[in-house]
Amino acid sequence: MKKTYLIIAGLFTIFVLGFYLNTVLARNSTNNHSAITKTEKQNNMKLGAFSISLSVKDLKTSKDFYEKLGFTIFAGSMEQKYLIMKNDKALIGLFQGMFQGNILTFNPGWDENAINLENFDDIRKIQMQLKNSGLRLTREADEKTEGPASLMLTDPDGNVILIDQHR
């Protein structure tokens, strides 16, 4: 009888503990989700198409390499010393002798096919949000203008980010 009582008491304790932990974890999960959702809403900028711009030593060699990875020429030309290559939604810019280092590039107002997006954040709005969040820009868009403009900033690891609006 004593053994049966201990088993029942143990099962009851496990049930109560499990119920309590499930309730606490569910509450924390909801609170964390709310915090993430709030942060996402505060910082949600429509940056447009993303690509990486690579500074290459030899454009033909790089073109051949990326073609073997399934990329095809989307824009640019060998004569202009740059190519934009595409594989599905992935975009890579190959630039010979135009800049040093690699650049993360965003194009507000464009999708990955350089098709105009109906809804996008103007670069001047993006610039204001970046500055309000405390980021330092290395190049700014002229806030008195409309249409095409660009800005640049550098991430904590020294990677250059270009936000380049074409329309």
What pLDDT does 44 receive? 84
| 66 and 133 share one domain | yes
Q: Which domain holds residue 133?
A: 49-165
Establish how many alpha carbons lie within 13 A of residue 141's alpha carbon, considering only the half-sphere containing its beta carbon.
24
| 34 and 79 share one domain | no
Q: For residues 97-116, give the mean pLDDT.
A: 94
| 106 and 144 share one domain | yes
Q: What is the pLDDT of residues 18-72, one digit of tens each?
A: 545 455 445 555 555 544 454 444 568 899 999 999 999 999 999 999 999 999 9
| 16 and 39 share one domain | yes
| 2 and 79 share one domain | no
Cα gap 13→55, rounded to integer Å: 64
Contact 45, 129 (CB under 8 A): yes
What pLDDT does 45 receive? 87
Return the exposure string of 102-140: e unless at least 16 CB atoms fall within 10 Å of the residue's CB, then b. Answer: ebebbbbbbebebeeeeebbbbbebbeebeeeeeeeeeb
Residue 109 has pLDDT above 80, yes or no: yes
| 152 and 81 share one domain | yes
Cα gap 104→165, rounded to integer Å: 14
Cα gap 11→7, rounded to integer Å: 6
Question: Pick the residue with more confidence: 43 or 131?
Answer: 131
Q: For residues 71-92, give the mean pLDDT.
A: 96
What are the CA-CA distances from residue 167 to residues 84, 89, 112, 115, 121 (Å)? 18, 21, 15, 11, 12
Domain count, the chain: 2
